[in-house]
Structure 1
């Protein structure tokens, strides 16, 4: 597993004042997907997610130890309380058993995570081969002849299954989906906006294209383990409060706008 600590310099560049004190030896292990997802994160600790968490660490006095791993394994370790948390995780009712989301009360009739305490918002888009007739108008598919590829463990699979769409979950990486799509083994691929942007900026751009209407847009959260929240509920609340404070601060908002503008290719979205 890849382990690293984000340099203090990243946090200091945000120029956000204020700090909530914590015990000096508070440390939490967080897992994340072993994949580049610009502009949110890179495997070597770059990207907006790590900048946000670095400032959360500075404000709360809690240090984070990051572990990259396949996404499904990360979620399994979160559920087993083998890590203190995971990011960035979208909310579904089915995932409530994995750990604790901010604002979700146990036993609620219609639970929803508190979007105000999200790390970021991203979208899933539909990618097709250039020349394909496959279409998505925001409500339904047309000219769908085959399966839609989805990365293993990704929540967009639940979205597609709810529409009775046949899916292929046999890939862990967006690049694998792109290769299957080009080879004609998939009718389309549902990818995160950052993944699609990265692929189309590369050599896949001449053979694949992103449909203009997003499949779904959703917030992504820092999800903490059930054991951590049960034993230290006040610490969990401080962390989620700090995520909101940093994300809505002027310095971070400026960084986010700059990074999103830099990662958007041409006429995407």
Structure 2
């Protein structure tokens, strides 16, 4: 390689990495309440640890926007943010969003951010039960869920009436305790964390042994962003497994989940 070609190569490489670092940041929206252990504060939690790892690995910049979850979805639909952190799959969201998929069009679960389950909580003085994938003795009772959570759609599609005015797990557990609702469906880890921190909310309440649903959470990009940044989107998705296995992630996971208060 001649000196001129060599200098051109160096210049091109420098410009490439410089442009990657100074390009318009990718706007990511995530929930403004604690969703333990995935979101524990501003740019904190296991899901955010994955994003920070990806930024460093790919030499790109993310702009983090923290809003109520329903507002995050509205911002994505209107193009004000580029992606949602920790979005479960629903067919409704595919109208405006893109999930990582395999060549056959099926979800690529290896590129998920994490998995969590939804647990059914009932009042001890209620005869409502969740068994073999259906509610028993539900009657006309509404099922409490957090506002904007996809599990509400799952319940409605199954024909169950939904109560969804609570933003946090604590608010929903309080509604259950005060008999505003007699049954509620909450994410497992955040609800356990809430009950450990506020044990009074668990008085007179029991968790059903069978989960309502196991659910994978993804980094969901908008169709607009994906159309203009297809290669970059796939690079980001493909870096997620590395982020989950990274030393930083594993150390934080041990710190958050190693507490004797957490099952």
Say if 1:70 and 1:251 are closer, same or farther in 2 by CA, change over 3 A.
closer
Q: How far 1:130 sits from its partner (Å)?
A: 3.2
Change in 2 beyond 3 A, CA 1:226/1:104 = farther
* Aligned equivalent of 1:242: 239
Deviations 1:29-76 (A, max 9, x none): 111111101111123322111111111111011121111111111001
Q: Which residue of 1 aligns with 2:176?
A: 181
1:207-249 deviation line (CA, Å, top 9, x unaligned): 3232221100111011112222111111111100111222245
The Cα of 1:255 is off from its aligned counterpart by 4.4
In structure 2, runs of 5+ residues without a counterpart are 1-16
Match of 1:129 among 123, 134, 139: 123
Q: Which has the larger radius of gyration?
A: 2
Give 1:136 shift: 1.1
Unaligned runs of 5+ in 1: 1-20
| Aligned mates of 2:49, 2:207 — CA distance in 1 | 28
Q: Structure 1 stretch 251-260 or stretch 192-201: which is displaced more?
A: 251-260
When normalised by structure 1's length, the TM-score is: 0.82
Matches within 5 A, 1:174-213: 174-201=169-196, 202=198, 203-213=200-210
Q: CA RMSD in A?
A: 2.3
Aligned residues: 243
Cα contact 1:123–1:218 (8 A) shared by 2: yes
Match of 2:219 in 1: 222
Q: Given the alignment, which residue of 149, 152, 166 partners 1:154?
A: 149
Structure 1 pair 121–264 and aligned structure 2 pair: CA distance change class (3 A): farther
Structure ranking higher in helix proportion: 2
Counterpart of 2:135 in structure 1 is 141
Q: Give the whole-Å Cα distance in 2 for the aligned partners of 1:186 and 1:128.
A: 9
Q: Distance in 1 between matches of 2:256 and 2:147?
A: 27
Quote the Cα distance in structure 1 between the aligned partners of 2:111 and 2:230.
16
Which runs of structure 2 are paired with 1:48-197 in the superposition (5 Å)? Answer: 48-103=46-101, 111-145=105-139, 146-197=141-192
